[in-house]
Structure 1
């Protein structure tokens, strides 16, 4: 009986090649130096929120003026969640993203290497890749 249990358990063991990708948790400075984004757990997945903007803002703060949903254009960009449903996918993470700069939603592919976070955002077949730097 014990031998059968061990064989069944071995069948469900996770192979070493399926190891979880490097964590994206932490504070990241955007490639253009315009902001800091915090990646943190939200439920059983990861999310990203703009912690603060590093650029001069209009009085009252930068608004999400380019959002395709007119009802959301009056919300502030600082504090805005821009990544959600991020889950491990191969050696990286995959989920949904939003860019307040151009008001586009996209599929996000993220990968950590050392102190850099490379993000590839795709809308249909058009993709853009940026690299962010981990903040201390």
Structure 2
């Protein structure tokens, strides 16, 4: 019996001594072309978290530039869409990233779930129980 107890003790010590290693999600850093081809979004670190800004629009803009005219906050409707931060507080979550997002196309804020896989990144945005998923492509 003493042998069995020491074997169990060694097994328990081994389990405690081996740190659990959770795989970090793939990096979402870089420049991404939107699924509809209307813009390039730059994803980068913002302190300890990740965020994303519209780097540039690939569509013909109205004179004076595209404005955030559908924002629910009327005081923000005159700001430029180019340069606008649309993702913030993105942190690792399982195999991807989770944070907050904003769509200037429809003026909605949503919970964002992002996951990169090579040169593709899928984004699922959810407002309440309604979700939409799109896939962006990495650009140089």
Q: What is the CA–CA distance in structure 2 between the aligned matches of 1:70 and 1:10, rounded to whole Å? A: 56
Where in structure 1 do 4 or more consecutive aligned residues deviate above 6 Å? Answer: none
Question: Mapping of 1:35-50 within 5 angstroms?
Answer: 35-50=39-54
Q: How many residues align?
A: 128
Shift of 1:14: 3.2
Aligned residue for 2:17?
A: 10
Partner Cα separation in structure 2 for residue 132 and residue 10 of structure 1: 41
| Superimposed CA distance per residue, residues 56-85 of structure 1 (whole angstroms, 9 cap, x where no aligned partner) | 001110000000000000000000000000
Q: Which protein shows a greater Rg?
A: 2
Matches within 5 A, 1:1-136: 10=17, 13-15=19-21, 18-136=22-140
Unmatched tracts of structure 2, length 5 or more: 1-12
CA RMSD of aligned residues (A): 1.6
Report the secondary structure of 1:95's partner residue.
strand
TM-score, structure 2 as length reference: 0.87
Structure 1's unaligned 5+ residue stretches are: 1-5
